[in-house]
Structure 1
Amino acid sequence: MGSNEADKPLRRIGASFEQLAAVAKQQQQPAMAAGDFSRACSNVSVLFGCLGIAFKFAEMDYVAKVNDLLEASKTISTLPSMVELDIQKGTVRQAGSHTRNLLRVKRGIDMVKVLFEQILVTEGNSLKDAASKAYAQVFAPHHGWAIRKAVGAGMYALPSKSQLLKKLNEDENSARAQMQSFVRSSGPVILYVEDLFTSKNLGLDW
């Protein structure tokens, strides 16, 4: 039974983000642990891999950024202190900085949240509309024409909804419950990271 649960990535994702959301929603907001955040985000990597060539760029970029945050969390305990260190060093916007990578990871989580929201309200077996809307909302504003064109072409190679659920080892009902859980729990986590950036006057559009 244990191995069966281990083969259900949506459950791992949901459980880890429920824990993060509990921290994010506390009134006296404690500093979110960088390790907990990074490990939860690493659970999401499998989803990008399941979406095929259209999101290959996102998978590669997301995994690299999450791995950087995981490594950083060995010596930097919280997300606020991670950002503050970059501010002190003047490296916030430098390519490869932990803060820049945190912003990119936040966008990846946001994209999956919107994707799940769209899947939950879209009829039929195609993921094209749901994935296209999620990409257009979250990633497209930050991408040049060439990447947007390549992603648009890749949308025709997306798996069907039933193929995706098979890869995730879920049936329709269990998948809906897990997706709803992620949409519900990822919202406060995304807001936590956004508030961290805006409180430091860093903005979110870079």
Structure 2
Amino acid sequence: LVCEAFEKCKENVAALSLENYLRGYMELYRFFGFLGSVFSFVASDVLSKITILEGYLNSEIGEHYMTIQAMITYENTNNLLRDPKRPSGARTLLRLHRALEFIAAFIGTISTLDSDGKTSTAAQECSNKTLAKFHPWLIQNAALLAMYTLPRKQQLLEKICDQQPPQDICVLMKQLQEVAVAVYDVTQNLYEEYNILDLP
């Protein structure tokens, strides 16, 4: 479902579908649930941001939020990118965008681990390469410590596999990583083009 949503999101790289981006992210939110309480703080933050963006998408100004490009253009033109009175859609998406880099790296790494591999180590390494650069030292260390409680790969797959063989899940994880990276790269280029990667 995540792969399908992200594939549809990037069908037209000049008009990234915000609806499909959020649809894919809602499925990733469910994945966080399998990781236990360690990711509960991440999951709640993700859900709040999805809710904000869905609110704009379903509002009277929703036509300006159909695509990520349209949203950024609209907010930039109307001086809404840094408006303290309302959460900017572009800023809200930027937080999801940063987390997507971590998620793609983490899921891709899990897919290559041995069955007894530590997902905790994978999460810590991926976090250090991605999310850590945006968080102060205290939050970084708290997150790394919490990640020690993550299960080994086999245990995680048993939670999410249902009736599917683990090897099939690993193939899907690799596909998910590839499509998530593709969406991440297009979005990253867009934010660079508008010079808004530093929205506070």
TM-score of the pair, normalised by structure 1: 0.83
* Residue 62, structure 1, aligned to residue 46, structure 2: yes
SS of residue in 2 equivalent to 1:112 = helix
User: CA 1:205–1:120 in 2, change beyond 3 Å: closer, same or farther?
Assistant: farther
Q: In the alignment, is the contact (CA less than 8 A) between 2:111 and 2:170 conserved in 1?
A: yes
Contact (CA 8 Å) 1:103, 1:204: kept in 2 or not? no
Preserved CA contact (<8 Å) 1:52 1:159: no
Structure 2 residue corresponding to 1:15, chosen from 4, 9, 22: 4
Mapped to 1, the partners of 2:199 and 2:36 lie a distance apart of 27
Among 15, 20, 24, the alignment partner of 1:36 is: 20
Inter-partner Cα distance in structure 1 for 2:40 and 2:138: 15
| Aligned partner of residue 23 in structure 1, secondary structure | coil
Query: What is the identity, as a one-letter code, of the residue corresponding to 1:86?
Result: E
Paired residue secondary structure (2:117): coil
* Identity fraction in percent: 23
Between the two proteins, the alignment pairs up a number of residues equal to 190
In structure 1, the residue matched to 2:135 is 143
* Distance in 2 between residues matched to 1:112 and 1:105, nearest whole Å: 10
Which residue is 1:104 aligned to? 95
1:185 equivalent in structure 2: 179
Query: How well do the aligned residues superpose, as a CA RMSD in angstroms?
Result: 2.0
- Mark the runs of 5 or more structure 2 residues left unpaired by the alignment: none
Question: Partners in 1 of 2:184 and 2:194 — Cα distance?
Answer: 16
Q: 1:101 to 1:173 in 2, by over 3 A?
A: same
* 1:21–1:186 CA contact under 8 A, matched in 2: no
Structure 1 CA distance, aligned partners of 2:154 and 2:120? 13
Question: In the alignment, is residue 173 of structure 1 matched against residue 164 of structure 2?
Answer: no
The 1:151–1:196 alpha-carbon spacing in structure 2 relative to 1, beyond 3 Å, is same
CA contact (8 A) 2:9 2:183 kept: yes
Q: Which runs of 5+ in 1 are unaligned?
A: 1-11
| Change beyond 3 A, Cα 1:204–1:193 | farther
Instruction: State the one-letter code of the partner of 2:66.
Output: S
Cα offsets for 1:164-189 (capped at 9, x unmatched): 21222243211111111111211221
C-alpha displacement of 1:90:
2.5
**Residues 183 and 200 (structure 1 numbering): CA distance in 2 closer, same or farther, change over 3 Å?**
same
Conserved in 1, the CA contact under 8 Å of 2:111 and 2:171?
A: no
- The CA deviation at 1:71 is 1.9
Moved more, 168-177 or 193-202: 168-177
How far has the Cα of 1:120 moved from its partner?
Answer: 2.6
Opposite residue 171 of structure 2, the aligned amino acid is: A
TM-score, with length taken from structure 2: 0.85
The equivalent of 2:29 in structure 1 is: 45
